[in-house]
Amino acid sequence: KQEVTQIPAALSVPEGENLVLNCSFTDSAIYNLQWFRQDPGKGLTSLLLIQSSQREQTSGRLNASLDKSSGRSTLYIAASQPGDSATYLCAGGGYNKLIFGAGTRLAVHP
């Protein structure tokens, strides 16, 4: 059974810092790893999808990596901004379903 863990649970940083959010999963036989952002009271916005054959994906200031052998993924946020404040969730994709971690709640203060 796939279990997904995210560390840290919460993070508060000043604007401009580079950040690393961690995600670990127990079943290396995942199809893909997807990162989401969730703002308070809102739905989930897909940020990046890394397929099992890929090592990383980039979108703007975001870079996500995947290491299946170690069961880890990281989300790197460069030059953080107050608008990045949200909860970030990773999800391990099995055959036809996503299993979510509990999320990292990020606060970027000016």
Contact 66, 73 (CB under 8 A): yes
| Binding of residue 99 to other proteins (CB under 8 A) | yes
Query: Which residue do the tokens 């170690």 mark?
Result: 70
| Binding of residue 85 to other proteins (CB under 8 A) | no
Query: Which residue do the tokens 């971690």 mark?
Result: 101
| Binding of residue 58 to other proteins (CB under 8 A) | no
Residue type, 39: D
| Binding of residue 103 to other proteins (CB under 8 A) | yes
Q: Could you tell me which of 11, 3, 5 has the C-alpha nearest to residue 74? A: 5
Window contacting other proteins (CB under 8 A); options: 7-15, 17-25, 44-52, 66-74: 44-52
Contact 90, 5 (CB under 8 A): no
One residue of 71, 74, 88, 101 binding other proteins per CB under 8 A: 101
| Binding of residue 51 to other proteins (CB under 8 A) | yes
Q: How many residues bind other proteins (CB under 8 A)?
A: 25
